[in-house]
Each structure stands twice: as structure tokens, then as C-alpha cells.
């Protein structure tokens, strides 16, 4: 048996005896029926876990805690730093509200396997809607509020929801974002039409309702009859979450039922070191994977109190907001993105706001979404006085690939590393030919198959794309799309992406998708989008535009239109505000745009003249153009 206080021993056990390891983890959740086969790898890489088992996600997150006598424990605290309001729900109250909303969905004809899109800001009802879908076996797809109508329409067409659940508005500092007009436009743009839309009218803005299609949340709930949990196959899909790939068509990452419950439940004690009853806060958004796994599902599976926070780390109203939430709600673990801490550090470098609050309840801080830079790690460690743990994961994986695990054994923290591969993950670093590199050398970060439970079993409607994107280049491995290295002590380092995905404020964006929008501008002949370094957001997209010949309008006018177009087509979340007109783009002799070299020039880091470049003089022109935006100098 492994030594439960030794990380290496637990890890080794998971690799040598994966069945025993995951069987033990699976014993900790509720099953309507146990599995026949723990792992079915007959269709690798499309691995299935707990085949033949039956359970329900909502039952594991809510009902079982009520049935075990914990109905009075607080399940959700909603804290809006924008409106100044707070509210909370016990597990019993949550069960009642979820059951009634599940009844609304049933009345709208939603059943097992039907899709429901949820387009909502950080309100408790977003969590209720997700759990209600899980309760009746519907597949939810949450779309982040910062995406524009066009992006919402793409998702509507891909997953074909029977019902869309939305709120009248989201609240950003200083402005109300009306969601309903965005939703109406998305439905207009899409080929598929939902049967109905359930709209939560928020007090800040009343949405106009479309007769015959739109239903008021509260009216519908008032007339609803509670719906019970439906027993689902372990491998039935729980949700689809769209994420950026290299093209404008997002990838619909699917999560299945039992693997997610088992893995996420395991992480709460072992990675985050929280016990039932503790307060856990993931300061993210329900529209991202962090929100799915760590605002909603994992804390509720593990009977933690979860915080649904509407606000920003700064400006709502000041850089002390996070400390206020921690001390007021007795938060034991905070999980957020490094960019949030960079924002706080910038406004409060000496931690003066922190001194106003007692944050002694905080046990550790977990960061993910992008690499934690050493400065931020140091600042957070010095000011909070708790372990600051960088951990690496992706929408596809649903939980961390690498992390320090204080719940097992806190290993020494090394700056720039998310520590070691977690149980279930066998990581290797391969060169372009698929051969392992020497220890310490950089290559593609890959995971040996099979992937552990809780990871994505497929992409929605895109099995071939799944194979092509993740499993074709290195047979027998999952290609993470990240590059990095593993040091002599087995610590892994994530250095960059190997594709055209960039990371803006912890959000994953496709430069290809932004290029598609820019190229649709009538005056743009060609373009390239780079992710340039940014002190606050990690990276920012910067567009280099080549105009069509004969265009005689002012560059600035066209740039402004391009910026507005990206905001309209992709949404404000793209944070696309930098663009420059250039005469030509640097290319290889075979016509490939040298984006990597352009990025290095923009970031002012060492670069080599590519041997295959068509015309080196273009790089001087590009450098001069980037300088006009304050880059390349
Ligand atoms: N609905 C509508 N618009 C939204 C939105 C939403 N749900 N969320 C963000 N936006 C808008 C913002 O208002 C902003 O618009 P602007 O260009 O008019 O200012 C734009 O989208 C970019 O938003 P954001 O990336 O949040 O930038 P910001 O400048 O408002 O805040 C940070 C910067 C660093 C404070 C912020 O990104 C942050 O708190 N990040 C935390 C990290 C995080 O949540 N990561 C998720 C994965 S863990
Ligand atoms: P997402 O799917 O949106 O969560 O984005 C996943 C991507 O974010 C990863 O592939 C990495 O490129 C990056 N990422 C997430 N966490 C980390 C981390 N701790 N260190 C470095 N990069 C990270």
C-alpha cells in the first residue's frame, strides 16, 4: 500500500496500479450502480472509465449531502462586489431550487441528452441552471458573457440547444451589459433555433421578452413541479465547453458523468487540502473550465461551501476586495489566475489594503490559467504568508496535470514550475520526431495514454478533429499543445504554446480566429496576429494589417474599424486594441507567415534571422511599424 503522506509513493501507486488507485477514489462517491469495467481502452485514445456504472452528478453535488444530514450547511455564498449584495443558500435550499428549475426544463421538453446553453453572468442562478441540467441528464454548454453574438451563434449551431437560459444583463465595473439583445442577435444569426429561452430578469436591467419564445425565470419556477435526479450512465456527457483551437471554429470539449465526479472529488482533499465544510473560492467565471470544475462541481461534490463572486480583483471598489472576501467568508483556499494578482500588485504594491483585513483563515493560494511569473509568486508569498501553488491544466483535462499537493505532501516550491505530474499523469517531453529529449531540454509536453478519468472523452460532433488535434502527431500520447521541460528532480516547466493559441488574462484565444475576422474587413488583404507580452494580462493580441492595393483611406480609420469588428464578432474578451498597418508580412519561401519571429521582435527578445525567409528587409519594416505602438524597443 502507498504511504499516503508521500507524494512520490501515491504517484507511483497510481501508475503501477491505476485500477486499484481509481477504484479507491470511486468508492468515495455515490453510485446508483457500480461499474462493470473500470477502464475500457478498446477504442483508444477514446478511453471510457467506469463503464456500466450509473450515477448522477447533481445527486453527488447536492442531494447526498442533504441525505447525510448536512442540509443546513451553506453550499453557495454569492458575493457581488459590483452591487454590494450578498446572499447564501444551504444545501437543502439549493436542492429545492435546483429541483424546481429542473422541473422548468422538463416542462420545456428538455430530457436526457438534450442540450441547454447557459449564457449568464456570475449569479447563483447560473449554478442552479447547470445543476438542474445535470439533474435531468441534459447536457449544458455555458457560454462566457464576454463573447459576442457571433460566437454565441457558432455554439448554438454546433450543439443545437433545445433551450437557452440567459440573464437580462451582466455587470462590469461602471456599466451594465445587456445580454438579451446579444442573445436575440445570436439566435437571428444561427441556423438552429431553440424552442424557448428562459430569462432571469436582474434588477439592474429588464429585458424585452419575445412572446411565444421567452419565458421569465421566476414565473416559470413559480409554476414548476420539482424534478428528481435521473440515473445516468457513467459515460453519458455532462457538459460541452467550447474552447479556442487554431481555427475560428471552437472545439466543444465534452466531459462525461462519472469520471468527472471521481477525479474532481479526489482533487479537493489531495490537491487543495480542504475538508467537508471548508470554504473554497475559485475567483474565475462559470464560463471557463475553472468555473465548471472549481466554482461548481468539485467543491459541491466534496461538501465545501463555494463562493460565486461577481467583481474584479481591482476597481470593485479597490485592490482590497479579494482580502475582504477571504476574511468575511472565512476562505481557506483561493484559486485564481496570476493576472488577477498582477492587477492587485500594480495598484497596491506594498499590500496596504491587505493590512486592513484578517486573512489568517487562508491556508493556500492556487494559481492557474497561465504560467505564474516569479515576481508574482514572490509578491503573493511575501504578502499572504501561505504556500502559493502554480498548477497547470487545460479545458480538455478538466483538472490539473501538474501540481503541488499539500493534501498529500507539500513539496518544495520551485519558481516557474507547476511542480510534478499528478497521479494518473505520465508526462514526457518529445522532440519533433517523437523521440524523448534529454532531461532539461525543451520539447512538446505529452501525456502517455490512457488519460485519467475526468479528462475529455471526445469533442462534440468532432471525433476526427479530436484525433487529429491531440493524438495523431505522437501516437500513444496526448499532445497538450504546450512546450516545456522536466528537470532532474522531475519538476515540469511549461514555457509556451506550440500552436497559434495565446493567453490573454488567463483566457485562451485563437490568433487564427482573430485573423479570420480581420481578413473579413474589405480593406484588409492579409494579416497576422501575434500574442505580444503584457505586464498585466500576460499576452495581448496585436494585429499587423496589409491593406488591399488601391485603398486610400486613413490607416487609423481602418484600424479603428478592425478593432471594432473584432469586438463585435468575437467580443470584448478578446481585448483586441493593438493594430498597425504594414506594407508586407515576412514569410518563408514557401509562403508561411513568420509570426514567431515577429513576436520575438515585438517583445524585444533575441531572435535569429530565419534561414527560409523570403526577403529579410521586411523585418526592418515590421520593426519600425511595431515601434510606433511602443513595441520592438
Ligand atoms: N461580460 C461582458 N463583458 C465582459 C465580461 C463579461 N462576463 N467579462 C469581461 N468583459 C469585458 C471587460 O469589461 C473588458 O471590456 P473593455 O475592453 O471594455 O474594458 C474586456 O471584456 C476584457 O475583460 P478582462 O479580461 O476581464 O479585462 P479587464 O481589463 O476588465 O480586467 C483583470 C483585467 C486582470 C482584472 C481580469 O482579467 C481578471 O480579473 N482576471 C482574472 C482571471 C480570470 O478570471 N481568469 C479566468 C481563468 S482562471
Ligand atoms: P484553458 O484551456 O483555457 O484553461 O487554457 C489552457 C492553457 O493555458 C494551457 O494549455 C497553457 O498554455 C495555459 N496554462 C494553464 N495553466 C498554466 C500554468 N500553470 N502554467 C503555464 N501555462 C498554463
Ligand 1, atom nearest to 173 Cα: 13
Q: What is the pLDDT of residues 417-461, one digit of tens each?
A: 999 999 999 999 999 999 999 999 999 999 999 999 999 999 999
Q: What is the pLDDT of residues 466-484, one digit of tens each?
A: 999 999 999 999 999 999 9
C-beta of 294 in contact with ligand 2 (< 6 A): no
Measured by CA distance, the residue closest to atom 15 of ligand 2 is 369
C-alpha distance from residue 443 to each of 203, 370, 503 (Å): 52, 18, 19
pLDDT value at 135 more than 80: yes
- In the prediction, which pLDDT does 620 show? 92
- In the prediction, which pLDDT does 349 show? 96
Cell numbers representing residue 30 in the block = 455515490
- In the prediction, which pLDDT does 614 show? 82
Q: What is the pLDDT of residues 310-347, one digit of tens each?
A: 999 999 999 999 999 999 999 999 999 999 999 999 99
Best residue among 371, 373, 425, 481 to mutate for probing ligand 2's pocket (most ligand atoms within 8 Å of CB) is 371
pLDDT value at 200 more than 90: yes
C-beta of 395 in contact with ligand 2 (< 6 A): yes
- In the prediction, which pLDDT does 59 show? 99
Yes or no: say if 163 and 589 are a contact pair by the CB < 8 Å rule.
no
- In the prediction, which pLDDT does 613 show? 85
Q: How far is the CA of 630 from the centre of ligand 2 (A)?
A: 27
Measured by CA distance, the residue closest to atom 6 of ligand 2 is 394
C-beta of 285 in contact with ligand 1 (< 6 A): yes
CA-CA distance, 82 to 289, in Å (whole number)? 23
Percent of residues, the chain, with pLDDT higher than 90: 94
Give the CA radius of gyration of the chain: 24
C-beta of 289 in contact with ligand 2 (< 6 A): yes
pLDDT value at 291 more than 90: yes
Q: How confident is the model at residue 610 (pLDDT cuts 50, 70, 90)?
A: confident
Compute the average pLDDT of residues 290-303. 98
Q: What is the pLDDT of residues 527-547, one digit of tens each?
A: 999 999 999 999 999 999 999
C-beta of 418 in contact with ligand 1 (< 6 A): no
Q: What is the CATH number of domain 505-627?
A: 3.30.300.30
Domain boundaries, the chain: 7-311+391-483, 505-627
C-beta of 390 in contact with ligand 2 (< 6 A): yes
The 10 Å Cβ neighbour count of residue 224 is 17
Is the pTM value of this prediction over 0.85? yes
Q: What is the pLDDT of residues 268-282, one digit of tens each?
A: 999 999 999 999 999
Nearest in space to 304 (alpha carbons), one of 439, 407, 445, 152: 407
Q: How confident is the model at residue 121 (pLDDT cuts 50, 70, 90)?
A: very high
Yes or no: say if 171 and 189 are a contact pair by the CB < 8 Å rule.
no
C-beta of 394 in contact with ligand 2 (< 6 A): yes
- In the prediction, which pLDDT does 263 show? 98
Comparing 600 with 246, the larger pLDDT belongs to 600
pLDDT value at 247 more than 80: no
Q: How far is the CA of 573 from the centre of ligand 1 (A)?
A: 6
Q: What is the pLDDT of residues 19-35, one digit of tens each?
A: 999 999 999 999 999 99
Best residue among 172, 281, 370 to mutate for probing ligand 1's pocket (most ligand atoms within 8 Å of CB) is 172
- In the prediction, which pLDDT does 615 show? 85
The class (CATH top level) of 7-311+391-483 is alpha beta
Percent of residues, the chain, with pLDDT higher than 70: 100
The 10 Å Cβ neighbour count of residue 548 is 11
- In the prediction, which pLDDT does 589 show? 86
Q: How far is the CA of 285 from the centre of ligand 2 (A)?
A: 16
- Residue 352 burial by Cβ neighbours in a 10 Å radius (0-12, 13-18, 19+): exposed
Compute the average pLDDT of residues 593-599. 92
Amino acid at each position: 500500500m502507498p504511504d499516503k503522506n508521500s507524494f512520490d509513493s501515491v504517484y507511483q501507486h497510481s501508475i503501477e496500479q491505476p485500477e486499484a488507485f481509481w477504484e479507491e477514489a470511486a468508492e468515495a462517491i455515490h453510485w446508483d450502480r457500480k461499474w462493470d469495467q473500470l477502464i475500457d481502452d478498446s477504442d483508444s485514445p477514446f478511453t471510457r472509465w467506469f463503464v456500466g456504472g450509473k450515477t448522477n452528478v447533481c445527486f453527488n453535488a447536492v442531494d447526498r449531502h442533504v441525505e447525510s444530514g448536512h442540509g443546513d450547511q451553506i453550499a453557495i455564498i454569492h458575493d457581488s462586489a459590483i452591487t454590494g449584495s450578498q446572499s447564501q443558500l444551504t444545501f437543502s435550499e439549493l436542492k429545492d431550487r435546483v429541483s424546481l428549475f429542473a422541473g422548468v426544463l422538463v416542462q420545456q421538453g428538455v430530457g436526457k441528452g438534450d442540450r441547454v446553453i447557459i449564457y449568464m453572468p456570475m449569479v447563483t442562478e447560473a449554478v442552479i441552471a447547470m445543476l438542474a441540467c445535470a439533474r435531468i441528464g441534459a447536457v449544458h454548454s455555458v457560454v462566457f458573457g464576454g463573447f459576442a453574438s457571433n460566437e454565441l451563434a457558432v455554439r448554438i449551431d454546433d450543439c443545437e440547444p433545445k433551450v437557452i437560459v440567459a440573464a437580462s444583463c451582466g455587470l462590469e465595473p461602471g456599466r451594465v451589459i445587456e445580454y438579451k439583445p446579444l442573445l436575440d442577435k445570436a439566435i437571428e444569426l444561427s441556423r438552429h433555433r431553440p424552442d424557448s429561452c428562459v430569462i432571469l430578469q436582474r434588477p439592474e436591467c429588464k429585458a424585452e421578452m419575445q412572446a411565444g419564445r421567452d419565458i421569465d425565470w421566476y414565473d416559470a419556477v413559480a409554476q414548476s413541479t420539482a424534478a428528481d435526479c435521473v440515473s445516468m450512465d457513467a459515460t453519458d456527457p455532462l457538459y460541452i465547453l467550447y474552447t479556442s483551437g487554431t481555427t475560428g471554429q471552437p472545439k466543444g470539449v465534452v466531459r462525461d458523468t462519472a469520471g468527472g465526479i471521481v477525479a474532481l472529488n479526489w482533487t479537493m482533499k489531495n490537491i487543495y487540502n480542504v475538508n467537508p465544510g471548508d470554504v473554497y473560492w475559485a475567483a474565475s467565471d462559470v464560463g471557463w473550465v475553472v468555473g465548471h470544475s472549481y466554482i461548481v462541481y468539485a467543491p459541491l461534490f466534496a461538501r465545501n461551501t463555494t463562493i460565486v463572486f461577481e467583481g474584479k480583483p481591482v476597481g470593485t471598489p479597490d485592490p482590497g476586495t479579494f482580502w475582504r472576501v477571504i476574511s468575511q467568508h472565512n476562505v481557506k483556499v483561493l484559486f485564481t489566475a496570476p493576472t488577477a494578482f498582477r492587477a492587485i500588485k500594480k495598484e497596491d504594491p506594498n499590500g496596504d489594503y491587505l493590512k486592513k483585513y484578517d486573512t489568517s483563515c487562508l491556508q493556500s493560494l492556487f494559481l492557474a490559467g497561465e504560467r505564474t511569473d516569479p515576481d508574482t509568486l514572490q509578491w503573493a508569498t511575501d504578502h499572504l504568508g501561505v504556500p502559493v501553488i502554480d498548477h497547470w491544466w487545460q479545458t480538455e483535462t478538466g483538472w490539473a496535470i501538474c501540481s503541488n499537493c499539500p493534501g498529500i505532501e507539500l513539496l518544495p516550491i520551485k519558481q516557474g514550475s507547476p511542480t510534478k505530474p499528478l497521479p494518473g499523469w505520465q508526462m514526457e517531453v518529445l522532440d519533433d520526431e517523437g523521440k524523448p529529449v534529454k532531461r532539461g531540454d525543451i520539447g512538446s509536453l505529452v501525456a502517455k495514454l490512457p488519460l485519467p478519468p475526468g479528462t475529455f472523452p471526445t469533442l462534440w460532433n468532432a471525433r476526427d478533429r479530436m484525433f487529429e488535434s491531440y493524438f495523431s502527431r505522437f501516437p500513444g500520447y496526448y499532445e497538450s499543445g504546450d512546450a516545456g521541460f522536466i528537470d532532474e528532480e522531475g519538476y515540469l516547466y511549461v514555457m509556451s504554446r506550440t500552436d497559434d493559441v495565446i493567453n490573454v488574462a488567463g483566457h485562451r484565444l485563437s490568433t487564427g480566429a482573430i485573423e479570420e475576422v480581420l481578413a473579413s474587413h474589405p480593406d484588409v488583404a492579409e494579416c497576422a496576429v501575434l500574442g505580444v507580452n503584457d505586464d498585466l494580462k500576460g499576452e495581448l493580441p496585436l494585429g499587423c494589417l496589409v491593406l488591399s492595393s488601391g485603398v486610400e483611406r486613413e490607416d487609423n480609420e481602418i484600424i479603428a474599424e478592425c478593432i471594432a469588428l473584432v469586438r463585435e464578432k468575437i467580443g470584448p474578451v478578446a481585448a483586441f486594441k493593438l493594430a498597425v498597418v504594414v506594407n508586407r508580412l515576412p514569410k518563408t519561401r514557401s509562403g508561411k507567415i513568420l509570426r514567431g519571429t515577429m513576436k520575438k521582435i515585438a517583445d524585444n527578445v533575441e531572435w535569429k534571422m530565419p534561414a527560409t525567409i523570403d526577403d529579410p528587409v521586411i523585418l526592418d519594416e515590421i520593426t519600425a511599424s511595431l515601434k510606433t505602438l511602443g513595441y520592438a524597443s
